[in-house]
């Protein structure tokens, strides 16, 4: 005789929260696989679909898919008022995962028919859109679920779990921005490379905006408690260093330089937890300005298209990056600072909206 | 007072950060000596004379005896042929990337510029390549050649490492220049009527 497993409403609630975290975790794994895949393409041109980064990527998809199923069934068992509160996020997660899962066979079909695709291709755009939908919806679920616990004066497990949700959004959106800025999409059959001038303008505005807004949200969701924004920013640096720098032996000497990026992240976090809202928004200029360092080494390829015009060999990346530094940095500092400020203003509105509900 | 101390600490930290990232650290990376990779080739032919209809084998071992580099290419060219067809078969191959067949008329890079100067291929060739290439890395390619006409069957062999900073980054460093304006070493087998 089969035994029916039944859950109490508290257990359903926990299942819902845990599965939301796991959806974000799955997307995070996908972004790590994706970032490693880009580096892999730059270093040794993998010639088949079946590469280790692709395996990591699809393990992430499997985690996100299984968690979405659990999330849906736990949500279905909620009482009506709570159910309607989370309905939009659950629907968006399902839509996101459907796109994400559909992107797999689409990508395989594309590889089979058109050979290796570039960074920006229809299946990759599908994949990234699915990731953004899933991660954003899950982060919203996590914040709404743990709202009261997040504003408590002492640190709880929720404060640290929310980091997964925020990182997934930051990395998946960074992936989308990379697609529209890196010149990696000129393939045998299609050339989806962005116009170089558009690419540098987009990079200079979009990345500072994104980074500042996610750091602001990290602090704001935990009621300005110091530490969470620093952890989100530092983990971003660690992930980027592991997938884009450490994989390339030529870039290993730049790790010390790259991890200095922890300093402005901690400074921004300290300002968010110790100042009034107006000053907090102005402080968004700090992570904004530093985007040129945070997004090393890949943005070298974007700015090289306009400022250096060299072949960016893996062994030449650091040299070209530092050669361009003195010409690029003075040009991007003001727009990047403004984009960072706008990012924090935008994030403060989003945060208010999410926490009011 | 506490706030004043905090803002002072922030200002000092920011100044330190930007000084390090903009002025102190970049020269360390800009002043680094450029890497000097150096390819070598060991080419062996199992026969110097054959009869028409017979085959001979050519085995090539490439090695990087210099610094690590991004790509090492070994190019095996067939100036007597209009197309490779069934004349040349790869029997052994352990380079990290699949071999690339250059056809007559294909656009290829010239003068060691990695594609920044382009010429049209005048005869077919097979390009074997690995990336990245560490110091001491060795790769092998073996070919079985069955010439379809009598006379001297000529093979040109060269290796280029990219990025190409110095003359050490190609092998051979002197001799015959091919249509790409790059040095090659020539090998030949006498093909006679049986």
Could you tell me if B75 and B167 lie in one domain? yes
Q: How many CA atoms lie within 13 A of A92 on its CB side?
A: 17
Number of other residues whose CB lies within 10 A of the CB of residue A122? 14
Tell me, yes or no, whether A187 lies in a domain. Answer: no
Could you tell me if B28 and B55 lie in one domain? no
Tell me, yes or no, whether A238 lies in a domain. Answer: yes
Q: For residues A46 and A37, what is the distance between their CA atoms, to the nearest angstrom? A: 9
Sign of the four-CA dihedral A169, A175, A176, A180: positive
Question: What's the pLDDT score for residue A356?
Answer: 54
Tell me, yes or no, whether A181 lies in a domain. Answer: no
DSSP 8-state code for residue A156: -
Contact check, Cβ <8 Å, A322/B131:
no
Q: For residues B121 and A62, what is the distance between their CA atoms, to the nearest angstrom? A: 47
Is residue A332 within 8 A of residue A292, CB to CB? The reply is: yes
pLDDT band at A1 (very low <50, low <70, confident <90, very high): very low
Is residue A184 within 8 A of residue A119, CB to CB? The reply is: yes
Residue A229 belongs to domain spanning: 195-357
Question: What's the pLDDT score for residue B127?
Answer: 96
| Spans of chain B below 70 pLDDT | none
In three-state secondary structure terms, A242 is: helix
Q: Tens digit of pLDDT for each residue in A333-343? A: 999 999 999 99
Cα three-residue angle A185-A190-A194, rounded to 5 degrees: 40
pLDDT band at A4 (very low <50, low <70, confident <90, very high): low
Residue B3 belongs to domain spanning: 1-32
- B6 CB neighbours in chain A (<8 A) are 270, 274
Report the residue from B6, B70, B132 with minimal CB separation from A274.
B6
H/E run at residue A65 = helix A52-76
ipTM for the assembly: 0.88
More confident: A12 or A170: A170
Q: For residues A350 and A92, what is the distance between their CA atoms, to the nearest angstrom? A: 17
Could you tell me if B125 and B145 lie in one domain? yes
CATH number of the domain bearing residue A46: 1.20.120
Domains in chain A: how many in total?
Answer: 2
Given the DSSP bridges, would you call strands B125-130 and B71-77 parallel, antiparallel or unpaired? antiparallel
Please report which residue ranges of B101-161 form alpha helices under DSSP H: none
- Non-local CB neighbours of A283 within 8 Å, separated by 6+ positions: A268, A271, A272, A275, A344
Nearest to B34 by CA among B159, B168, B143: B168
Q: Does B96 touch chain A (CB under 8 A)?
A: yes
Q: Does B1 touch chain A (CB under 8 A)?
A: no
- A271 CB neighbours in chain B (<8 A) are 10
Report the residue from B3, B21, B96 with minimal CB separation from A293.
B21
């Amino acid at each position: 005789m089969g035994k029916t497993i039944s859950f109490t409403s508290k257990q359903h609630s926990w299942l819902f929260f845990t599965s939301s975290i796991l959806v974000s975790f799955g997307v995070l794994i996908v972004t790590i696989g994706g970032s490693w895949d880009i580096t892999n393409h730059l270093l040794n041109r993998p010639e088949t679909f079946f590469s280790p980064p692709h395996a990591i990527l699809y393990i992430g998809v499997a985690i996100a898919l299984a968690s979405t199923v659990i999330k849906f069934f736990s949500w279905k068992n909620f009482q009506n008022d709570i159910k309607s509160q989370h309905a939009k996020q659950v629907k968006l997660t399902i839509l996101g995962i459907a796109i994400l899962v559909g992107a797999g066979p689409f990508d395989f079909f594309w590889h089979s028919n058109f050979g290796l695709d570039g960074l920006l291709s229809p299946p990759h755009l599908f994949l990234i859109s699915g990731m953004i939908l899933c991660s954003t919806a899950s982060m919203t679920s996590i914040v709404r679920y743990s709202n009261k616990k997040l504003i408590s004066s002492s640190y709880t497990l929720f404060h640290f779990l929310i980091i997964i949700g925020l990182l997934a959004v930051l990395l998946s959106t960074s992936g989308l921005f990379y697609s529209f800025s890196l010149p990696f999409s000129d393939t045998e059959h299609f050339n989806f490379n962005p116009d170089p001038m558009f690419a540098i303008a987009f990079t200079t505005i979009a990345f500072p905006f994104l980074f500042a807004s996610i750091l602001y949200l990290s602090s704001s969701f935990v009621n300005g408690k110091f530490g969470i924004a620093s952890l989100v920013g530092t983990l971003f640096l660690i992930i980027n260093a592991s997938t884009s720098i450490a994989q390339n032996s030529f870039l290993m000497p730049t790790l010390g330089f790259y991890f200095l990026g922890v300093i402005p992240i901690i400074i921004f976090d300290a300002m968010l937890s110790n100042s009034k809202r107006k000053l907090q928004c102005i402080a968004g200029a700090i992570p904004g300005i530093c985007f040129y360092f945070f997004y090393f080494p890949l943005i070298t390829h974007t700015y090289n298209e306009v400022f250096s015009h060299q072949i960016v060999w893996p062994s030449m990346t650091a040299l070209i990056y530092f050669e361009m530094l003195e010409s690029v940095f003075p040009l991007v500092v003001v727009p990047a600072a403004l984009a960072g400020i706008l990012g924090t203003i935008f994030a403060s509105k989003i945060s208010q909206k999410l926490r009011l509900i | 007072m506490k706030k004043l101390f905090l803002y002072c600490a922030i200002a000092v930290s920011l100044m330190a950060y930007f000084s390090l990232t903009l002025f102190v650290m970049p020269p360390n990376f800009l002043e680094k000596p450029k890497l000097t990779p150096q390819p070598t080739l060991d080419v062996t032919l199992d026969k110097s004379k054959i009869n028409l209809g017979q085959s001979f084998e050519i085995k090539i071992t490439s090695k990087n005896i210099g610094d690590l580099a991004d790509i090492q290419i070994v190019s095996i060219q067939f100036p007597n042929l209009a197309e490779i067809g069934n004349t040349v078969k790869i029997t052994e191959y352990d380079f990290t990337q699949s071999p690339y067949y250059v056809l007559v008329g294909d656009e290829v890079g010239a003068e060691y510029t990695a594609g920044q100067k382009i010429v049209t291929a005048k005869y077919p060739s097979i390009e074997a390549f690995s990336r990245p290439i560490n110091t001491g890395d060795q790769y092998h390619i073996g070919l079985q050649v069955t010439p379809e006409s009598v006379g001297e069957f000529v093979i040109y062999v060269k290796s280029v490492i990219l990025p190409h900073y110095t003359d050490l980054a190609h092998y051979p460093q002197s001799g015959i220049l091919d249509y790409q304006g790059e040095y090659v070493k020539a090998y030949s087998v006498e093909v006679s009527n049986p």
